[in-house]
Amino acid sequence: MFPEKTRSVREPRAAGFWPLALVFTLFVIFLYGPMVTIFVLSFQGPEGGLTFPLRGLSLHWFRQLAEGLGTVDIAAALRRSLLLGAVVMGLTIVLSVLAGLAFRKKLRGGDALFYVSVASLIMPSIIISLGIGLQFRLLDGGLKWLLTLLGEHSPYLQETLENYGTALGLMTSALGAHLTWTLPFGLLIMFAVFNRFNPAYEEAARDLGATPWQTFRHVVLPLIGPSVVGVGMFGFTLSWDEIARTSQAIGDVNTLPLELQGLTSTVTTPAIYALGTLTTVVSLLVMGLTVALAWWLGRQRKV
Amino acid sequence: MNTNTATSLRTLPAWWQAGPFGAVFLLFFLIPLALVLVVSFWHFSEYELIPGFTLDNYLTIFEGCASLTEQGDFCVTLSTYLSTLKFCFLVWLATLVLGFAVAYFLAFHVRSPGMQTVLFVLCTVPFWTSNVIRMISWVPLLGRNGLVNQTLMGLGLIEQPVEWLLFSDFSVVLAFVHLYTMFMIVPIFNSMMRIDRSLLEAASDAGASGWQTLWNVVVPLSKTGILIGSIFVITIVMGDFVTIGVMGGQQIASVGKIIQVQTQYLQFPLAAANAVILLAVVLMIIWGLTRLVDIRKEL
C-alpha cells in the first residue's frame, strides 16, 4: 500500500476545494480580524480614541489601566480570577480523574451521573446561576434564624450573628458554579482518554506485585499525564472567562470578566482595549505553558 | 469499557472515586434546580422570600398574554420569547452552515493529519480569549466611525455612516456567530472523521454527483454532530444575557436579561418562574431535536 502522503500529492484537488478553502480563509480572518484591531488600538497615543485612525504609538493606555479605571479595582479582580481559576483547575483535575477511574469499573448509577453532568453542560447558565444564588441566600436566612434562636443564651453566638454577612462568595458559591461548567468537560476528556487506554500495562504492573496506588502513580498517571494537563487547562480557561454562571452566584465581589462586562458600558477610552490585550496575553501564556508542559510530559513518557 | 478493567484498583470502591464528582452536581446543580422550581411558587416582598404556594408569579409573567395589546402587539413575555427565538434561529442557521462548511473542508479536503491539526488549532486559539473582549473588538469595526463605515464612505458607496451595524440585531447575531461557531465545528468534524471514506468512493462509483453524495451520505452520517452542535448553540443563545446585552447596546430584551434584571431587584420568585419557563422551552426544543436523531445509539 502506498503511504498516504505520496498519493495525496499526485491526486488533483477535488471539486469544491478552492471555494471551501476560501470560506475557511475568510472564517479565520473573521475570527482573528476584530481581535487584531483591538490589540493595535490598545497601543494608541494619549490622543487616541476607540476607532481608527491610530493616533501615535504608546503604552499610555496600559499605564492608565495600572492606575485604575474609575472606581473599579482591576488588580483585585485579576487576583480573584487567577485564584478562582487555579482552584477550579486543581479540583477539576482531581475530581475528573477520580470520576474517570470510577467509570472504568462497575459503577451503579454511573449512567445517571453521566446524564446529570451532560445536563449541566447544556443547561442555560443563567438558570444554574440563579439556582445557586437562591440556595445560598436561603442558607443565609436559615443560618441567621438558627443563630437568633440559639443566640438568646450565648453572647458569642449573638456576636457571630451580628458579624454574619453572607455565605455567597468566591470560594463557596462561585467555585461551585464554575465546577458545574468545567467538570463535564473534564469527564468527557477522561472518557476519551480511558477509551484509548490499554489496560495491559496495569495488568503487567499488578503481575509484578505493584499495589493499586503504585500502579496508578507509576503506570497510569504518567500515561495519562498530558491529557490531565489538558483537563487542567480547560478548567482554568473556562473559569477565567466565565460570566453567566458567576453573575448571580458570586456575592459582593466580582471576577475580571464580570468587571469587564460592566466596564463595556461605562469606559469609553482605549484603556478597555489595553485590558483586553492584557487578559488575552494571560490566556495565551497559560495555554502556551500547558501545551509546553503536556509536550514535556509526553516526552518524559517516551524516554 | 467496564469489563476488562473491572479488577483495576479494586481496593477502592468506584463510588469513593466518583463521589466527590457526584457531590458537586448534587450540591450545585440538582439542589439549586429544585430550589428554582420550589421558589417559583413562593410569595415575596421587597426584602424577603415568603414560603408558600402561589401561581401569582406565573400569572404575572403571562399577564395580558391572552390577547393582543391595543397597539396590536404581543405581551412582554411573548414578544421577548419571540425575539429570543428569532436570534436562536438566525444564529443556529448561520453557525450550522458556516460550521458545516469549515468542518467539511477540514475533514475531507485537508488530507494530511498534521495540517488538519494545525488548521484546527488555528480555529481554537481565539476561543481562549475572553468572550467580552471578542465582543467589544467589533466596536472599532462596526461603530459609526468604524472601519467598515470609513471604508464604505471612502469608496463612495454610502454618503452617511450606516447606523445599524452596531448595537443592533445584526451585531448581536454577528457576535454570536463569532463566539460560538466552534461549538458547531468540533462535533460535526468529529462525526465526519468517523465516516468510512470508502462510502464516499462507493457513492461516486455508483454515479452520485458531489451534491448527491453530500446530501445522501455525508449529511445523514454527520447527524449526531449536527445535533450536538445545535443543542449547544441553542441552549447558549436561549439563556444568554451577556452577548445580547453588550452587542445590543443594552437595548434588546431577552429571556436571560429579564431573569438577570429581576434578580437585581431581588424579585427571586419571579425570576425563578421565568427560569422554569425558559427551561421548559429549551427542553422542548432539545426533545424535538432528539426525535430526529437517536443520540445514545451513536455516542
Mean pLDDT of chain B: 85
- In this prediction, residue B298 has a pLDDT band, given cuts at 50, 70 and 90, of low
The answer on pLDDT for A1 being more than 50 is no
User: How large is the average pLDDT for residues B176-183?
Assistant: 92
Instruction: Work out the burial of residue A73: count CB atoms within 10 Å of its CB; fewer than 13 is exposed, 13-18 middle, 19 or more buried.
Output: middle
Give the pLDDT of residue A9: 47
Residue A294, min C-alpha distance to chain B (Å) = 15
User: How large is the average pLDDT for residues B104-124?
Assistant: 86
Using an 8 Å CB-CB cutoff, list chain B residues near A179: 24, 28
User: How large is the average pLDDT for residues A77-106?
Assistant: 90
CA–CA distance, A182 with A232 (Å, rounded to integer): 9
Residue A172, min C-alpha distance to chain B (Å) = 10
Q: For chain B, how are helix, strand and coil distributed in percent, rounded to 5? A: 70, 0, 30
Q: What does the block give as the cell for A240?
A: 477565567
Residues 6 or more apart whose Cβ sits within 8 Å of residue A174: A84, A168, A246, A249, A250, A251, A255
Higher pLDDT, A250 or A26: A26
Q: Is A113–B111 a contact, with Cβ atoms under 8 angstroms apart?
A: no
Using an 8 Å CB-CB cutoff, list chain A residues near B167: none
Give the pLDDT of residue B146: 82
Give the pLDDT of residue A96: 93
Give the pLDDT of residue B297: 59
Q: Is B5–A110 a contact, with Cβ atoms under 8 angstroms apart?
A: no
ipTM field? 0.86
Domain count, chain B: 1
Segment among A157-161, B96-100, B283-287 with least mean pLDDT: A157-161
Q: What does the block give as the cell for A141?
A: 436566612
The answer to whether residues A244 and B239 touch, using CB atoms and an 8 Å cutoff, is yes
User: How large is the average pLDDT for residues A228-242?
Assistant: 87
Number of other CB atoms surrounding residue B289 within 10 Å: 16
pLDDT above 90 as % of chain A: 19
The answer on pLDDT for A72 being more than 70 is yes
Which residue in chain A is spatially nearest to B247 when comparing CA positions?
A: A264
Does residue B285 lie within any of the structural domains?
A: yes
The CATH number that applies at residue B79 is 1.10.3720.10
Give the pLDDT confidence of A169-204 residue by residue, as tens digits: 888 899 999 999 999 999 999 988 888 888 888 889
Which residue in chain A is spatially nearest to B178 when comparing CA positions?
A: A31
Nearest-CB residue to B146 (from A51, A106, A215): A51
Which residue in chain B is spatially nearest to A175 when comparing CA positions?
A: B28
Residue A69, min C-alpha distance to chain B (Å) = 16
Give the pLDDT of residue B295: 60
Does residue B137 lie within any of the structural domains?
A: yes
Higher pLDDT, A49 or A230: A230
Give the pLDDT of residue A5: 46
DSSP string, A39-108: HHHTTB-TT--SSSSP--B-SHHHHHHHH-BTTB-HHHHHHHHHHHHHHHHHHHHHHHHHHHHHHHS--T
Residue A176, min C-alpha distance to chain B (Å) = 6
| CA dist A284 → A39, A64, A225, A280 (Å) | 14, 23, 21, 6
- Beta strands per DSSP E along B10-86: 43-44, 49-50
Using an 8 Å CB-CB cutoff, list chain A residues near B28: 128, 132, 176-177, 179-180
* Reported pTM: 0.86
Nearest-CB residue to A104 (from B5, B16, B102): B5
User: How large is the average pLDDT for residues A34-59?
Assistant: 80
Q: Is B2–A135 a contact, with Cβ atoms under 8 angstroms apart?
A: no
Does residue B51 lie within any of the structural domains?
A: no
Q: What does the block give as the cell for A175?
A: 467555585
The answer on pLDDT for B282 being more than 70 is yes
Q: Is A137–B268 a contact, with Cβ atoms under 8 angstroms apart?
A: yes
Q: Is A30–B24 a contact, with Cβ atoms under 8 angstroms apart?
A: no
Give the pLDDT confidence of B241-272 residue by residue, as tens digits: 889 988 988 888 889 999 988 888 888 899 99
- In this prediction, residue A2 has a pLDDT band, given cuts at 50, 70 and 90, of very low
The answer to whether residues A88 and A235 touch, using CB atoms and an 8 Å cutoff, is yes
Domain boundaries, chain A: 16-57, 75-300
Q: Is B131–A257 a contact, with Cβ atoms under 8 angstroms apart?
A: yes
Among A130, A263, A281, pick the best mutation site for testing chain B contact (most B Cβ within 10 A).
A130
Give the pLDDT of residue B281: 93
CA–CA distance, B8 with A269 (Å, rounded to integer): 59
Give the pLDDT of residue A222: 86
* Contacts made by residues A196-202, CB under 8 angstroms, sequence distance 24+: A197/A223, A197/A224, A199/B4, A199/B5, A199/B8, A202/B5, A202/B8
CA–CA distance, B270 with B256 (Å, rounded to integer): 13
| CA dist B124 → A70, A300, B179, B180 (Å) | 34, 26, 11, 11
Instruction: Work out the burial of residue A157: count CB atoms within 10 Å of its CB; fewer than 13 is exposed, 13-18 middle, 19 or more buried.
Output: middle
Residues 6 or more apart whose Cβ sits within 8 Å of residue B92: B230, B233, B234, B237
Give the pLDDT of residue B299: 52
Using an 8 Å CB-CB cutoff, list chain A residues near B130: 240-241, 256-257, 260, 276, 279-280, 283
Among B1, B28, B147, pick the best mutation site for testing chain A contact (most A Cβ within 10 A).
B28
Residue B281, min C-alpha distance to chain A (Å) = 11
Nearest-CB residue to B140 (from A13, A38, A103): A38
User: How large is the average pLDDT for residues A31-40?
Assistant: 87
Residue A58, min C-alpha distance to chain B (Å) = 18
Domain A75-300 belongs to what topology? MetI-like fold (1.10.3720)
Mean pLDDT of chain A: 84
The answer to whether residues B171 and B247 touch, using CB atoms and an 8 Å cutoff, is yes
Q: What does the block give as the cell for B158?
A: 454610502
CA–CA distance, A49 with A54 (Å, rounded to integer): 8
- In this prediction, residue A303 has a pLDDT band, given cuts at 50, 70 and 90, of low
Number of other CB atoms surrounding residue A288 within 10 Å: 10
Q: Is B24–A179 a contact, with Cβ atoms under 8 angstroms apart?
A: yes
Give the pLDDT of residue B235: 92
User: How large is the average pLDDT for residues B227-231?
Assistant: 92
DSSP string, chain A: ---HHHHHHHSPPPTTHHHHHHHHHHHHHHHHHHHHHHHHHTTB-TT--SSSSP--B-SHHHHHHHH-BTTB-HHHHHHHHHHHHHHHHHHHHHHHHHHHHHHHS--TTHHHHHHHHHHHHHS-HHHHHHHHHHHHHHHHHHHHHHHHHHHTT-HHHHHHHHH---S--IIIIIHHHHHHHHHHHHHHHHHHHHHT--THHHHHHHHTT--HHHHIIIIIHHHHHHHHHHHHHHHHHHHHT--TTTTTTSTT---HHHHHHHHHHH--STHHHHHHHHHHHHHHHHHHHHHHHHHHHHHHHH-
Give the pLDDT of residue A169: 83
Distance of CA B268 to the CA centre of its chain: 25
- Pairing between β-strand B43-44 and β-strand B49-50 as defined by DSSP bridges: antiparallel
Give the pLDDT of residue A6: 46
Size of interface A-B (CB pairs under 8 A): 290
Q: Is A127–B31 a contact, with Cβ atoms under 8 angstroms apart?
A: no
Which residue in chain B is spatially nearest to A99 when comparing CA positions?
A: B18
User: How large is the average pLDDT for residues B67-90?
Assistant: 84
Q: Is B25–A257 a contact, with Cβ atoms under 8 angstroms apart?
A: no
The answer on pLDDT for B4 being more than 70 is no
Q: Is B286–A15 a contact, with Cβ atoms under 8 angstroms apart?
A: no
Give the pLDDT of residue B1: 42
Residue A107, min C-alpha distance to chain B (Å) = 6
CA–CA distance, A136 with A181 (Å, rounded to integer): 18
